[in-house]
């Protein structure tokens, strides 16, 4: 990749907390961006993080890392939002909604002032709800305001299947759809190992009671954030790398299929809700939704997951209306 191409790529990261800075740290190693700008309400923290990151520049690909403000969004290619409150031990992601909705609305209002043509990637939880709030607030095309969705959950699914089956994670292709949260859906019918469907792979392998073990793996994927938060306070390494993967697809215009969260308009029988499904991701964000053939159970579970998101979104919308009236 030429340095000129790098220079053209500018990423603005809003929220210099654990997730935002881990993402920047991982991005520094990739050469994907020529400029990475950090914005945070906590000025001292953002200055300290920038200094710490900058002092490692001798060991990575050339990149300018600095603190900035919302005017940096004007010529950004990608804006990553990681600002807001994180999950506390024993709490679920939906419990963050009322605190983070106000933060995301005010961030979007400031982005909007600068006539940006960037893709916005929402990470703050609950990510599906906040992607939709941001999309409404910005009023941009749906493909340009996306959430990290279940890219992280799909990575967890792949990693756990890889460990269970004893094969390289990169040979495992497995997808989690729906809410990034408790109602997420394991799409076994789309999952495979080196092109062999999971059903066929299990029939060949025959080393476990696949039905029981599959359920256990899905439970572990769903609950792993709870365990990590319980053990060490928050999760940031795997989400940081998931964000690099999505950034790669956008900044390199890769047309990669990733399970990002996007406003569905009837696809999979779901309307007017941000939910993760397989999407083709390139420089303008989501270019296309893949409407894959799910099993009947998976289709039903996806609708239940969408309903769980809708219930919370409706409560946020009702609250916003009562504040206005």
Q: Is 15 in the site for ligand NAD (CB under 6 A)?
A: yes
Strand 78-81, strand 10-14: pairing: parallel
Q: Is 239 in the site for ligand NAD (CB under 6 A)?
A: yes
Of the residues 98, 114, 173, 180, which is catalytic?
180
Q: Which is nearer to ligand NAD, 45 or 252 (CB)?
A: 45
Angle at 91 (CA atoms; ends 90, 96), nearest 5 degrees: 160
With CB under 6 A as the contact rule, which of the stretches 52-60, 100-108, 167-175, 212-220 interacts with ligand NAD? 100-108
Which member of 13, 19, 176, 316 binds ligand NAD (CB under 6 A)?
19
Alpha helix locations (H) across the chain? 3-7, 18-28, 43-54, 97-112, 127-138, 151-165, 198-205, 210-232, 237-251, 296-324
Which member of 34, 68, 84, 278 binds ligand NAD (CB under 6 A)?
84
Residue 15 tokens, joined: 């929220």
Q: According to CB under 6 A, which residues from 121 to 140 bind ligand NAD?
A: 123-125, 127
Q: Is 83 in the site for ligand NAD (CB under 6 A)?
A: yes
Minimum separation from the CB atom of position 216 to ligand NAD (A)? 22
With CB under 6 A as the contact rule, which of the stretches 59-67, 182-190, 231-239, 313-321 interacts with ligand NAD? 231-239
Q: Is 103 in the site for ligand NAD (CB under 6 A)?
A: yes
Tell how far CA 269 is from the center of its chain.
22
Residue with tokens 């497995």: 174
Minimum separation from the CB atom of position 103 to ligand NAD (A)? 4
Q: Is 279 helix (H, G, I), strand (E, B) or coil?
A: strand
Instruction: Kindly tell me the burial class for residue 194, based on how many C-beta atoms sit within 10 Å of its own C-beta (0-12, 13-18, 19 or more).
Output: exposed
Q: Which is nearer to ligand NAD, 28 or 152 (CB)?
A: 152
Which member of 61, 234, 256, 317 binds ligand NAD (CB under 6 A)?
234
Tell how far CA 120 is from the center of its chain.
11
Number of residues that this document lists for the chain: 325
Q: Which is nearer to ligand NAD, 15 or 282 (CB)?
A: 15
User: Residues touching ligand NAD: how many (CB under 6 A)?
Assistant: 34
Minimum separation from the CB atom of position 66 to ligand NAD (A)? 16
Angle at 182 (CA atoms; ends 177, 316), nearest 5 degrees: 95
Residue 79, strand partner residues: 12, 120
Q: b/e for 47-73, b at 16 or more Cβ within 10 A?
A: eebbeebeeeeeeebebebebbebebb
Q: Which is nearer to ligand NAD, 36 or 198 (CB)?
A: 36
Active site residue 192: no
Q: Is 107 in the site for ligand NAD (CB under 6 A)?
A: yes
Minimum separation from the CB atom of position 207 to ligand NAD (A)? 32
- Alpha carbons 229 and 61: distance in angstroms, whole number: 32
Question: Which residue is closest to ligand NAD by CB?
Answer: 17
Q: Which is nearer to ligand NAD, 180 or 310 (CB)?
A: 180
The half-sphere exposure of 242 on its side-chain side, counting CA atoms within 13 A, is: 25
Could you tell me which residues come within 8 angstroms of residue 129 by beta carbon, excluding any fewer than 6 positions away? 94, 97, 101, 274, 309, 312, 313, 316
* Residues noted as catalytic: 180
Positions in the binding site for ligand NAD (CB under 6 A):
14-20, 39-42, 45, 82-87, 96, 100, 103, 106-107, 123-125, 127, 148, 152, 180, 234-236, 239
């Amino acid at each position: 990749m030429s340095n000129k191409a790098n220079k053209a790529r500018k990423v603005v990261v809003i929220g210099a907390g654990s997730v935002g800075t881990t993402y920047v740290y991982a991005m520094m190693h990739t050469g994907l961006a020529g400029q990475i700008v950090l914005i945070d309400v906590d000025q001292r923290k953002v200055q300290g993080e920038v200094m710490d990151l900058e002092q490692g520049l001798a060991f990575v690909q050339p990149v300018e890392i600095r603190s900035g403000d919302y005017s940096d969004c004007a010529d950004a290619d990608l804006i990553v939002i990681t600002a807001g409150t994180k999950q506390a031990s024993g709490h679920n992601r939906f419990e963050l909604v009322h605190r983070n909705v106000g933060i995301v609305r005010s961030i979007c209002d400031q982005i909007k002032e600068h006539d940006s043509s960037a893709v916005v990637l929402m990470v703050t939880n609950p990510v599906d709800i906040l992607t939709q709030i941001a999309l409404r607030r910005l009023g941009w095309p749906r493909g340009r305001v996306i959430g990290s969705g279940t890219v992280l959950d799909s990575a967890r699914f792949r990693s756990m299947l890889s460990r269970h089956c004893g094969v390289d994670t990169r040979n495992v292709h497995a997808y989690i759809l729906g809410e990034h949260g408790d109602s997420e859906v394991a799409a076994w019918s789309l999952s495979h190992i080196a092109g062999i469907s999971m059903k066929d792979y299990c029939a060949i392998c025959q080393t476990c009671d696949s039905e029981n073990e599959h359920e256990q793996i899905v439970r572990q994927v769903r609950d792993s954030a709870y365990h990590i938060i319980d053990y060490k306070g928050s999760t940031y390494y795997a989400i940081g790398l998931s964000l690099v993967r999505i950034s790669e697809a956008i900044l390199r215009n890769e047309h990669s299929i990733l399970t990002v969260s996007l406003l569905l308009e009837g696809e999979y029988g779901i309307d007017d809700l941000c939910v993760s499904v397989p999407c083709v991701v390139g420089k303008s964000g989501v270019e296309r939704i893949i409407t894959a053939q799910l099993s009947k159970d998976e289709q039903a579970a996806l609708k239940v997951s969408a309903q769980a998101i809708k219930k919370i979104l409706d409560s946020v919308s009702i609250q916003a209306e009562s504040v206005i009236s």
